Amino acid sequence: MGLTLGCARCHDHKFDPIPTRDYYSLLAVFTSTRTMQNLNTVARTFERSPDGPEKPEIKADRQKLEQLRKDVRKLESEFSKLPATEKEKRAEIAAKADEKRAEIKKLEAALPPASPMVLAVEEGSSGAYGTQGRNLYVQIRGTYSTPGAEAPAVFPRIIAGEDQKAFIESKSNAADKLEANKIRYGALRTSSGRKELANWLADPAHPLTARVMVNRIWQHHFGEGLVRSPDNFGRLGDRPTHPELLDWLAVQFVKNGWSMKKLHKLILLSATYQMSSTHDAKAALADPENRLLWRFNRQRLEAEAVRDSMLVVAGTLDHTTGGTLLTNGNFEYVTNDQSKTRTRYDSLRRSIYLPVIRNNVFDFFQAFDFVEPHVGTGKRASTVIASQALYLMNNPFVTEQAKAFADSLLKPEGNDEDRVKSAYLRALARPATDEDVSRAVSFIQRYDAALSTKEADAATRRTKAWAAWCQVLFASSEFVYVN
């Protein structure tokens, strides 16, 4: 969520940055939580089913199924490495693989559908990689060998107030002694405090959580938040442009059960959202950055929306929901510096289903300012650079969607003028002007004529000419921007 410190009228309250002691108090909550099953080469995070644990016999069959699949992959690898001359050995391996595939098919038919899994955490313990619940000492100048005052489990005082008690009981730690070059641990906690911290954050009376979330959703729709520094609601951040509106939306958000769907609906039905992006010279002179929202901000579509829009307009979007596009097993490496990637991005499903691999981000996403997956980002960049235009002009995915778009326009009976009008409505969501139609038809005719020396077939030339024009629409600013 990106909780930040302050409030809607943050500059009036003159809040200081979070005190160091409170930082270590919160840090102890997370160091007292176990987040991984083990520390093997591939770190295994905790996963739990909302439906509860499976029966032991079903769990055993799933483990057997997974082992069979690994065995098949190993046999396939052995088979591929053998030369064709080793016919007898290849036949033996193929027979073993077929036998295991038959077992896999039988097990898959007998097993019930797997329950969805969610990432989870567990309370720390003394035997789980040093995650036992305990307080921390402030590290003077950030050095673990110079411990300062102990930081009890209290909520940040600049929000919860100075006069508060520790929200986790603790008892003295017999091992608490200062040793050279050793981290000094404070009193032992009865629990990590993660649950108590979560309940405090989600309390309807909390002054920040709802405001921060409302601001993020507002920013998503308008390009800028009511607080334009979404990662910083404190004294060093931007002042809210409409503090009363931010507070009112936050109250409505909580009243409606923290429903983001209802909040989206509330914003989208507002007169502010439905305003035109038409420029007004007088208003621009008084408020050039549109902080007072006298018009709608013109925005570049996000990378995912650009791709999905092409699929919708071309008529190629796969509407299948759910599932994954990754073929690797759970807790297996997807790609690293020593393995060949098995990640594929040639699916026609919505972009939300495409995998996001931190060291192998989809090139389409990278071209259009996708976030850096290694870090949290409150607001995406929106650049206008030559590589984006070159991508839309040359990328095979774009040319394929342009051809599919052209084929769908040419399929029905009609004249070229009507086809251009239909294309404008589908791609740009507006009627084509007479000038638009005239220029489009002229482009297609000239493109067709230019191909005549290389392509004898008239139907092929016509399709290519229309595909080129459809690609022009995809590459236009009007397609990738929302007005």
Say how many CA atoms lie within 13 Å of 289 toward its Cβ: 6
DSSP 11-31: HHHTPPPPPHHHHHHHHHHHH
Confidence of residue 161 (pLDDT cuts 50, 70, 90): confident
Across the chain, mean pLDDT equals 87
Q: Please compute the mean of the pLDDT values over residues 409-429 and round it to a whole number.
A: 95
Assess whether pLDDT exceeds 70 at residue 404.
yes
**Nearest to 36, CA basis, from 116, 121, 118:** 121
Q: Please compute the mean of the pLDDT values over residues 3-30 and round it to a whole number.
A: 59
Distance from the first to the final alpha carbon of the chain: 28
Confidence of residue 1 (pLDDT cuts 50, 70, 90): very low
Assess whether pLDDT exceeds 70 at residue 75.
yes
What was the pLDDT predicted at 120?
84
Assess whether pLDDT exceeds 90 at residue 403.
yes
Assess whether pLDDT exceeds 60 at residue 14.
no
Assess whether pLDDT exceeds 80 at residue 383.
yes
Highest mean pLDDT among 32-36, 86-90, 277-281, 397-401: 397-401
- Given a contact cutoff of 8 angstroms between Cβ atoms, the answer to whether 431 and 420 are in contact is no
Residue 175 or 56, more confident: 56
What was the pLDDT predicted at 137?
86
Cα(124)–Cα(45) distance, integer angstroms = 14
**Nearest to 419, CA basis, from 470, 456, 472:** 470
Minimum mean pLDDT among 11-20, 234-243, 448-457: which range?
11-20
Q: Where are the domains of the chain?
A: 10-32+133-201, 53-114, 209-297, 298-483
